Structure 1
Amino acid sequence: MTMFNIRGMHRILASSIGVTCAAALAVPLAPATAIASASPTRTPHTTQTQSQTPTTETTPEGHTESLPLKPLTSTRATATPTAPEQGLRAQDVRRFSLVGVIWDDPRTELHGTVQVRTRSTETGTWSDWQDVATHNADHAPDPDASERVSGRVHGATAPLWVGESDGVEVRVRAEQPETTDTPTLPTGLRLELVDPGEEPARTAPAARTAPVRRADTPQDAAPASVATTLSAETAEASAVNTELAPLGALEIPALSDEETRRELLTLGQAELLADLTEEQQAKPYIGPRPGIVTRRGWGANESWRERKFVYTSKVKAAFVHHTASGNGYTCSQAPSVIRGIYRYHVMSMGWRDIGYNFVVDKCGTIYEGRAGGVAKPVLGAHTLGFNSNSMGIALLGSYGSKKPSKASVNAVAGLTAWKLGLFGANPRGKTYLKSGGGNLYAKGRKVRLNVISGHRDGFATECPGLQMYRKLGTTRKAAAELQGR
């Protein structure tokens, strides 16, 4: 493996080409937004009726068009809010790339099928009918979490990436229950058409405040303390994005060398210096830190999410997921897909941020998910009942029948070897987590789980897809070897 000398990196960054490359993908650091308890500023989320004339206008920050579904039959008996067949006829809409269906009550499940077909802006042709995964309630905040009981949360299908489109048709059909009851659908069904927007222009951040660290029960705990505000100079230096090679391939000298410390700070690596110091003081079995594209690197608009960060006490386990958003994306489109999912989670589903802690695309690129710092125990919304003391890693795509790429499986192994190692967890081991409530384990029950588990181990779901689930044994073995076990 090629090793990069720190001084060599300094010379590269001194050139305009080096700075340009460095700004493309970021070494992990916490987002440069200050903590606040105020609600996030919402960007456009428009409601359109079928009689309105849509516009093809797109905006750099993206938008969400929300269309209420209607009964597809005309009889008075079926024209109810819970009609068993609802949808929209083919129509022109604003440009979008990702689609999902939401409803009023997040506690209500949609038992049935959701299908969409879309018209490509590139070819002008309509797609075949595509299935949208309906079981998405298991990717959620824990039942008692403040994020769950905020009053803004909706039930939702998984999002589906369809590529840039300007026409849509949808049909939702309830399945016949085992009883003699009439099949029904949840109330308030709406079609969400998401334009993920463009990657925002990069600007140097102002001085920022480190996040408030919270207790093991994040939603109820009061702030313990606020760390020192970084100076404007240090904050700007820390924002220099240095991804010339995966961080695991960089040769990091001993941090007792004061000259090395100054070198890292000059390179804009204040966050890296702090994290590396923490890692060296942690448990001995830590895999090499992989390259991670930060939120800034994939173009996260930080005004969409809530500005506060919430932490759990540690990371004892990793749950592996798939986004169930389809495999029809190119790796160059992955940042757009992630921005679409981010917007869907926040604007449509009502969460504080994207639910996953990390996302991995089919080329093996790792992306920072929920904000708060990649080396920190950020509380996610990925495994209903087991979000505390765990992290969620989602493969971008659907892996029920399709096998995940070797690169993506290797990326999950590398990420878990490093992140679990920071907290002394053995990827081949077992651990106990307390259930927050779900359809497999009652609230309060202590459950013995693999340190690297599939989503279905904590909740009755198909996630992370059968094909990815079969790879977890290989993942555990590879991660343990990377830790030197």
Structure 2
Amino acid sequence: MRGFLASSIGVATAAALALPLALPTPALATPSVGAAAPVTPAGSTQSLPLAPLGPSGGRIPGVPGMSAAPAVPEARGLAARDVASFSLVGVVWDDAATALLGRVQVRTRALGTGTWSGWQDVETHNSEHAADPDAVERGTGRVRGSTAPLWVGASDGVEVRVQADTGGPDTRAPAGLPSGLRIELVDPGAARPVTVVDGKNTAALPGGDDKGDSAVNLPDMSMEAAESSEANVPHAPLGALEITELDKADSTADAILAAEGNLSEAARPYIGPRPRIVTRRGWGADESLREPGFGYTNTVKAAFVHHTASGNNYACKDAPAVLRSLYRYHVVSEGWRDIGYNFAVDRCGTVYEGRAGGVAKAVLGAHTMGFNTDSMGVAVIGSFASTAPPKAAVDAVARLTAWKLGLFGADPRAKTTLKSGGGNLYKKGTNVKMNVISGHRDGFATECPGRLLYNELPPTRTTSARLQGR
């Protein structure tokens, strides 16, 4: 996920940043080990400002949100402290256009045990996962700069340190840090129980499977049946979980679209089998967080594969909680209208609905800055720069793309042309030819989706096409 920034300021002295004691660590209090605040059903976000740990310098005239480069690297942090329970961390700052050139490290205390982790690095460059520069979503005034999120598991203590780069050979001066640095501690909240059956996450939904209640994931129905009544979109009892009118309307619309797709399959025969998809209700999305309404693009010509860069330290049964945390981080902490990805895939190969609007529709996401139009984004939950992605996850990407690209007549082995909306590789308005199944790095200068996941894309294209019957 790290963006490659063409700036000598961003070239840090490796030895300096490699030292774990590069930042002064305040004297640690001995945090008490007791019962943390209970997990809230809807989840929560604690946002704590980071205080100076070293020289802060002045401000650079004419450069909003950026500190002047001090004589020594600027450092900010948070001393070890008790906090309410959380499971995911990230750092945000005021100006989304300002890069954080430096190193972010956190350590956390496991909930109720008193055991502190070692220092963990947080991926600092995350701006490439966002809406296009001119998109309405970026003009709300709520969007912030941010690191990638890091899943740490249930915790009740945290310590943070952020150090600016030490400077490059051309500048001879260290970088400053963005203004408004805060640590975001995300609690995913509780959701319906999830079990694992044959390596698949299975939400406690009607029939005991993870198909969810969206009609697009139910057996195909005729157009007449879909149009006749929303009673044709069955909703079995879901315990205490209320079925809202929005759920019903979305389900009916998806059912009609699915029926339309079936009626036209003769003209578009290369559509892979629809995979099992855990809907937003299945993984427990709090729909009150996101903006109302949905955004759509014209078609789906390409699929961009990502990794979340949130680490691999999660069990498959915890994937819905990871997803709820990512969703809350994208919306509450980063200021996006909804989760950025159209789909997510966990290490066991379970596919999850991402951004709201209908899994069979061309929903406009915020996943590949410059190329969100006429594309979809699928993120494999984890970090794959130095860790190989599980085969189950790679296979799931092939199944998902075979179906979704097939709905829009796209051949996974082919190339397509997309027009850039602006980014660090292609200027706005540039027509770019790229693979129908591309990695994030093909549209933006970044490490995402990680070298080892990126290397799996060529065989994924072949498998996806085969599943389409090509």
TM norm structure 1: 0.76
What is residue 278 of structure 1 aligned with on the other side? 260
Whole-angstrom distance in 2 between the partners of 1:342 and 1:71: 30
What is residue 281 of structure 2 aligned with on the other side? 296
> Contact between 1:264 and 1:270, CA under 8 Å: does it hold in 2?
no
Matched residue SS, 2:138: coil
Matches within 5 A, 1:312-461: 312-461=297-446
Aligned residues: 393
Whole-angstrom distance in 2 between the partners of 1:163 and 1:361: 16
> Structure 1 residues 243, 171: CA separation in 2 closer, same or farther (over 3 Å shift)?
same
Alignment of 1:127 onto 2:112: no
The letter of the residue matching 1:169 is E
What is residue 22 of structure 2 aligned with on the other side? none
> Contact between 1:60 and 1:200, CA under 8 Å: does it hold in 2?
no
Whole-angstrom distance in 1 between the partners of 2:455 and 2:351: 21
> Contact between 2:74 and 2:175, CA under 8 Å: does it hold in 1?
yes
Alignment of 1:265 onto 2:232: yes
Whole-angstrom distance in 2 between the partners of 1:111 and 1:257: 57
> Contact between 2:210 and 2:278, CA under 8 Å: does it hold in 1?
no
Aligned counterpart for 1:86 among listed residues 68, 76, 79: 76
> Structure 1 residues 377, 262: CA separation in 2 closer, same or farther (over 3 Å shift)?
closer
> Structure 1 residues 262, 79: CA separation in 2 closer, same or farther (over 3 Å shift)?
closer
Q: Deviation of residue 264 (structure 1)? A: 9.6
Moved more, 76-85 or 297-306: 76-85
Matched residue SS, 1:397: coil
Matched residue SS, 1:138: coil
> Structure 1 residues 76, 144: CA separation in 2 closer, same or farther (over 3 Å shift)?
closer
Whole-angstrom distance in 1 between the partners of 2:387 and 2:257: 37
> Contact between 2:221 and 2:259, CA under 8 Å: does it hold in 1?
no
Whole-angstrom distance in 1 between the partners of 2:220 and 2:367: 36
> Contact between 2:36 and 2:111, CA under 8 Å: does it hold in 1?
no
Q: Deviation of residue 84 (structure 1)? A: 1.6
Alignment of 1:137 onto 2:127: yes
Matched residue SS, 1:279: helix
What is residue 7 of structure 1 aligned with on the other side? none
Whole-angstrom distance in 1 between the partners of 2:209 and 2:252: 17
Q: Deviation of residue 265 (structure 1)? A: 2.4
The letter of the residue matching 1:193 is L
Q: Deviation of residue 363 (structure 1)? A: 0.3
The letter of the residue matching 1:279 is G
The letter of the residue matching 2:48 is L
Aligned counterpart for 2:151 among listed residues 146, 161, 169: 161
The letter of the residue matching 1:343 is R
Deviations 1:253-299 (A, max 9, x none): 8848979x999927458566424322221521100000000000000
Whole-angstrom distance in 2 between the partners of 1:264 and 1:331: 34
Q: Deviation of residue 182 (structure 1)? A: 3.3
Aligned counterpart for 1:174 among listed residues 150, 164, 172: 164
Whole-angstrom distance in 1 between the partners of 2:225 and 2:322: 42
Deviations 1:307-357 (A, max 9, x none): 110100000000000000001110110000000010000000000000000
Whole-angstrom distance in 2 between the partners of 1:106 and 1:146: 15
Matched residue SS, 1:410: helix
Whole-angstrom distance in 1 between the partners of 2:443 and 2:218: 38
Whole-angstrom distance in 2 between the partners of 1:290 and 1:170: 41
> Contact between 1:364 and 1:407, CA under 8 Å: does it hold in 2?
yes
Moved more, 149-158 or 121-130: 121-130
> Contact between 1:316 and 1:423, CA under 8 Å: does it hold in 2?
yes
What is residue 58 of structure 1 aligned with on the other side? 39
> Structure 1 residues 270, 190: CA separation in 2 closer, same or farther (over 3 Å shift)?
closer
Q: Deviation of residue 252 (structure 1)? A: 5.8
User: Unaligned 5+ residue runs, structure 2?
Assistant: 1-27, 61-65, 68-72, 194-204, 236-250
What is residue 150 of structure 1 aligned with on the other side? 140
The letter of the residue matching 1:102 is V
Matched residue SS, 2:137: coil
Matched residue SS, 1:147: helix
Matched residue SS, 2:393: helix
> Contact between 2:342 and 2:378, CA under 8 Å: does it hold in 1?
yes
User: Unaligned 5+ residue runs, structure 1?
Assistant: 1-49, 202-239
Q: Deviation of residue 63 (structure 1)? A: 1.0
> Contact between 1:246 and 1:290, CA under 8 Å: does it hold in 2?
no
TM norm structure 2: 0.78
> Contact between 2:98 and 2:178, CA under 8 Å: does it hold in 1?
yes
What is residue 192 of structure 1 aligned with on the other side? 184
> Structure 1 residues 177, 358: CA separation in 2 closer, same or farther (over 3 Å shift)?
same
> Structure 1 residues 293, 246: CA separation in 2 closer, same or farther (over 3 Å shift)?
closer
Deviations 1:52-81 (A, max 9, x none): x997343211111111111112x6758998
The letter of the residue matching 1:143 is P
Matched residue SS, 1:371: coil
> Structure 1 residues 303, 251: CA separation in 2 closer, same or farther (over 3 Å shift)?
closer
CA-atom RMSD in angstroms: 2.9
Whole-angstrom distance in 2 between the partners of 1:435 and 1:360: 26
> Structure 1 residues 138, 71: CA separation in 2 closer, same or farther (over 3 Å shift)?
same
> Contact between 2:223 and 2:260, CA under 8 Å: does it hold in 1?
no
Whole-angstrom distance in 2 between the partners of 1:99 and 1:398: 15
Matched residue SS, 1:148: helix
Whole-angstrom distance in 2 between the partners of 1:173 and 1:187: 13
> Structure 1 residues 97, 253: CA separation in 2 closer, same or farther (over 3 Å shift)?
closer
What is residue 97 of structure 1 aligned with on the other side? 87
> Contact between 1:294 and 1:368, CA under 8 Å: does it hold in 2?
yes
Q: Deviation of residue 374 (structure 1)? A: 0.3
Whole-angstrom distance in 2 between the partners of 1:435 and 1:169: 40
Whole-angstrom distance in 1 between the partners of 2:179 and 2:423: 22
> Contact between 1:141 and 1:380, CA under 8 Å: does it hold in 2?
yes
